Every structure is written in structure tokens, then in C-alpha cells.
A and B are shown apart, each in its own frame.
Chain A
Amino acid sequence: MTDASIPGTAPPADRAPAATTAAVKGGKSLTTVYVYEAPVRLWHWVNALCIVVLCVTGYFIGSPFPTLSGEASAHYLMGTIRFIHFSAGYILAVAFIGRVAWAFVGNTYSRELFTLPLWKKSFWKGLFTEIQWYAFLKPRPLKFVGHNPLAQTFLFLVMVLGLIFMIVTGFALYSEGTGAGSWQDRLFGWVIPLLGGSMQVHTLHHLGMWVIILFIIIHVYSVIREDIMSRQSMVSAITNGYRTFRDDDPD
């Protein structure tokens, strides 16, 4: 997995200062690992786009735009917004299934999203070190080829469990329109009585959106912060797949 990088694989903006440091420290080349395979990267960005579209359209389904004047037949605003929401929901769900499938055939890191290795000592050690690093109690974080355990925990809770919840409740609500007996109803309709009725499911689906929005705020912030302050690259890793380390110190 670990191999020496070819100069120029990481974006220059990221690489320039690090490369200088590495050169100063003894002329070693930086360690670069191919972490995120193409399907994982594709899923990440498709998923991100879908989530943005779903949050925006979902919000405006819940709190529609001011009333339009004129004949009803002249407009289809809510209809269009709902169509975009449902289409994006379908794409997100299909992409999620594809991502699950890729976890079976992809590399080790492709499985990381779906696992929470609570039984591993190294996981807990990494988790506490990361918490200390974020609480400014440690001057230097650990190095991670994949996700750090703190990120892994959040990703599992929100991007796996959270997305499954949103997909299931979303299709359950969609089944109310497609009607009794439709495949959406047969697969997901049971969710509505289980969670206490249609209104309750609407409310929970809405709250789920806010949980995902909170996740996005934290995710984007911590990715940028890690990209600047951690010991490995972040933004370029999910763009070109290669993760570059800034130092070759042990641990």
C-alpha cells in the first residue's frame, strides 16, 4: 500500500511548503498512499451534490416560496421543487447502494466508512488522541492513512446510519404519493406507523436534514483545518485519491 510518491502527484499549493520542509529535513521524498479509489471519490462528490440539492429543495418544500399570482395552470413551482428533490433522493439512494457494493470489492479504506472498530485498542487510542488534538491539549496529532477515528465515528453515525435513516424515511414519505401497493410502499411503508404516523415521519425527516447540515459544517471546517494543520493531505486526497504525508516521523 505504502509507496514513495512521484513528484507532482499532489497539488503544488499543498505540496510546496511540505516539500521544502522535507528537503530541509534530509532530502527524503514524501510518503504518498493511494487511499480513495475512483468509485469512492465519485461517490463522495455525487453524494455531496445530492445532499446540497436535497437540503435546499427539502427546506423549500417545508417552507415554500411566497405565493405566486395568476392562474394555477401557469405555474408548477412546488411540483418542480418536489421533482428535483425526489430525483436527487433517487440518485443519492442508488449511489449509496453502489458505495455499499464497492466496500466489498474495493481496498481496505473503502470499508472504513461502514465499520466502527470499537473492539480495537488502536481505535480508542486514536480517538482520544484526536479529541485531545481538537481540544488543543496535544500539540501534534497522529498520522492516519485512512480516516482518523474521530472522523470515522462521525462518518459512520451521520453518513451511514443518518443517510440510511433519511433514505428509508424519504422513500416512506414518497410512498404516500405512489400509493398503497407500490414497491416503495411495500418496501418502506411500514416505517410510517412504526414512527407514529405521517406527520411524525415528516418531522423526523426534517430534523434529519438539520443533523446533516450540522455534519456538513463540522465536516467542511475540520477538512480544511486538517488540510492545513494535520500531518496528511485532505482535500487533494478525495480529489485525486492520493494521500500525502508531511513528515516521515514514526507514529
Chain B
Amino acid sequence: MALETFYEVMRRQGITRRSFLKYCSLTAAALGLGPEFAPKIAHAMETKPRTPVLWLHGLECTCCSESFIRSAHPLAKDVVLSMISLDYDDTLMASAGHQAEAILDEVMTKYKGNYILAVEGNPPLNEDGMYCIIGGKPFVDQLKKVATDAKAIISWGSCASYGCVQAARPNPTRATPVHEVIFDKPIIKVPGCPPIAEVMTGVITYMLTFDQLPALDRQGRPLMFYSQRIHDKCYRRPHFDAGQYVESFDDEGARKGYCLYKVGCKGPTTYNACSTVRWNDGVSFPIQAGHGCIGCSEDGFWDKGSWYARLADLKGSGFGIESNADKVGLAAAAVVGGGVAVHAAISALKRAQTKHDAGNGADKGGDK
């Protein structure tokens, strides 16, 4: 069966060639590519068959889907209707029940080794996976089955990438990120709670356009969106370097838009594109709204203590109480300092005593 190309589908939907080319240029710009890539994208879309994407949902809150459908460049509608063939996504698809599940098998056989598996959420492993049942079976089984013949896997959001809230201590369901369940497929992590809409569509567009995985960092995140910290491109960075901080959320500094470092902004430790791509069609992002970054795209962000503290909490690392590095350090320094003082006092007394003895018992002593 001859598969439809992207271009054919778009034309069939009444999109003019002019609009199609505009779309290609916009996509190239959104991906940060030069103008010479627009024709490449156009060529790819004219010649390549649409790649089926199977979008599975495990333990999740659907915030990734909510984010995805708000993508502005490219529009989510363009991605879903024109670029990919989103054959299975139980929150977006019309069919339900057995018909829906049948699509999985159909795509898996027809496009064996040639479809992309996108995973939103993660599988819980406790009680044989009974905490998340899809179509009457544990989600972990569905995930493993569909992953078998996938070309690549996209881990949408912090759930699939790292575990997120359901994997926070004590993780009662043993929610487990995708890369700890599937080992034999390339996995692209797109962390964030949720990931930025344009990052999601950008990653998919890149994979379809160039027919290859985007360059990934050590943790498997696309370098084009996750190679820099929020801090590195933050518009409030000059205030950080100058030494101008918001000391509390209602002070003069907060009104003037100073750096949120002191009120616990996690921008310096968080890799994401919020400060460049921003949210809601580039309208704003948390720091621009006057609140520090909470580091939602970092591994284990729920377990690292307060959202208003820059350093990780040490509770659970053997220190028992909630405390930070400075409190522990100061307490230890006080104890050691006190110990030294007491030791010094005893040493002085002992020495005075020895000298005294030495003075009395003449030839016995010496300066010791």
C-alpha cells in the first residue's frame, strides 16, 4: 500500500502550497535552523511517508497532552493532522475500547520497526503493575509490548523521564521511568512538568524531518532545548551578576524585577528552554511572572526539599531533620570548635600540671 506523504495529506486538507512553504519556514525557525533548511523540510515532507506515532498513557496527569495541544509553532493541529499520523492516543482519539486497542496491533505489524512510541507517564511496578490498568492489562505490559518494534521512544515529561510526583518518596506504587523498564531502544527524554509545548512539537518535527534522533546530552535530553540552564538565558541575569536580589516576595526588589536567586529560584540548576522559548506562544514563563523556577524538568524535583530553597534538603540523607548544608555545617563547626576549646583547656591544665611536677621532681621530667 502506497503511504501518503505529509504534503499530500496537507494538500488534501485544502492547504495551499504557499501556506505549506510558509509552514516549513516557520518550522525551521522554531527549530533554530537557518533559512536553507526550509526547503529541506519541504522536500522531506513532500517525499516521506507519514510516520505513525503511538502515544501511550501510563501513570500521569495529562499535563503533557494539555501542553502539547497548545503548541503555537508549529500548531499542534498541524503536527497531529499533517506531520505525524497519531494513530493511537487514548485521550485524543475518537475510538475507544477494543477498537482502540486493535489499532496498536495493526500499527505494530504494518509499521514494524518504523513507528515512534511516545510515552506520557510511567509504569508502576508494584503488585505486578496493578496500579495502572489499560484495556484490562497492566500498563507495563502494554508499554513493553509496544516498545518491542518501535523505532525510538520519546519519554514525554518528567513522569516518563524521571518518575515525577508518583515516584516521589516513598513511591508506594514503585512508579518507574521508562528508561528503567525498556533497555534496548533509543530513548529521548523530554522532561518538564509539563514540557514546553514548542519543545514537544519541535522534537517530533525534528525526528520526522531529518529521519534521525536529535543530538542528546548525557541524560538523553535533546541538546537543542536542554543544553543550557534557565539561568544562562534568564532576562533577570544582569541583576544576578550585579548582586540585586528579591529578598522577599513583596519587597521593592520584587517589584523592580530583580533576580529571584535568594527566594529559591532553581533556574541555576535547571536545564530547560523556558527562558528562551517561554510558554503560551511566548507570552511568559514563571520567572517573568515573578516566581522562581521550581526545577520541574530536573530529576527527582519533588524529593529535593522546598521549592523556595536553592540547595537540596538533607532530610532523608541520614540527617533526619529538615536542614540544609549551611545548618549542618554550622552545627558541626560549633561542635568541633567547642571540642577544640575544651581540648585546648585540658591540654593547658595537663601541661601546667606536668611542668609543676617536673619542677618538683627535678631530674625526672624534662620539657616532655
Contacts and interface: CB of A to CB of B under 8 A. Distances in A.
Interface of A: 17-18, 21, 25, 62-69, 72-79, 134, 136, 139-140, 176-177, 179-180, 189-190, 192-193, 196-200, 202-203, 206-207, 209-210, 213-214, 217-218, 221, 225, 228-229, 231, 246-247
B340 A221 contact: yes
Contacts, number: 143
Interface in B319-368: 324-326, 328-330, 332-333, 336-337, 340, 343-344, 346-347, 350-351, 354, 366-368
B242 A140 contact: no
A66 B229 CA distance: 25
A31 B338 CA distance: 36
B344 A221 contact: yes
Interface string B235-270: 000111111111100000100001001100010111
Given A180-B217, A203-B311, A214-B333, A67 B368 contact: no
Contacts of A18: 367
A196 B238 contact: no
B310 interface: yes
B223 interface: yes
A150 to B, nearest CB: 13
Size band of the interface chain B makes with A: 35 or more
A190 B269 contact: no
Nearest to A231: B368
Given A140-B368, A200-B312, A214-B332, A64 B242 contact: no
Contacts of B151: none
Given A64-B243, A198-B229, A207 B329 contact: yes
Contacts of A196: 299-300
Contacts of B326: 62-63, 206, 210
A214 B328 CA distance: 12
B311 A67 contact: no
Nearest to A78: B243
Given A68-B244, A213-B329, A180 B258 contact: no
B321 to A, nearest CB: 15
B347 A62 contact: no
B47 interface: no
A156 B336 CA distance: 19
Contacts of A214: 332-333, 336
Nearest to A214: B336
Contact of B245 (A67, A134, A140, A247): A67
8 cross-chain pairs, A with B, having the tightest CB-CB distances, nearest first = A210-B329, A77-B243, A198-B269, A75-B242, A206-B325, A79-B241, A199-B269, A72-B242
B156 to A, nearest CB: 19
B8 interface: no
A226 B87 CA distance: 77
A78 B325 CA distance: 21
B218 interface: yes
A246 B366 CA distance: 10
Given A62-B326, A179-B227, A203-B312, A198 B241 contact: no
Contacts of A176: 229, 232
Contacts of A206: 311, 325-326, 329
Contacts of B270: 198
Given A64-B243, A214-B333, A139 B340 contact: no
18 contacts: A17-B367, A21-B366, A65-B243, A67-B253, A69-B244, A77-B243, A189-B218, A199-B269, A199-B298, A202-B269, A203-B325, A206-B325, A207-B329, A209-B329, A217-B340, A218-B336, A221-B343, A229-B351
B114 interface: no
Which residue, of A62, A66, A203, A213, has the highest number of chain B Cβ atoms within 10 A?
A203
B343 A64 contact: no
Interface string B264-308: 001011110000000000000000000000010011100010000
Interface in B207-247: 217-219, 223, 227-229, 232, 238-247
Contact of A199 (B245, B311, B329, B354): B311
Given A180-B223, A202-B311, A210 B325 contact: yes
A136 B266 CA distance: 49
B299 to A, nearest CB: 5
Nearest to A77: B243
Interface string B193-219: 000000000000000000000000111
Contact of B354 (A63, A66, A139, A247): A139
Contacts of B218: 189-190, 192-193
Nearest to A66: B247
A76 B368 contact: no
Nearest to B304: A199
A77 B240 CA distance: 9
B367 A67 contact: no
B243 A199 contact: no
B311 A62 contact: yes
B202 to A, nearest CB: 18
B46 to A, nearest CB: 33
Contacts of A68: 242-244
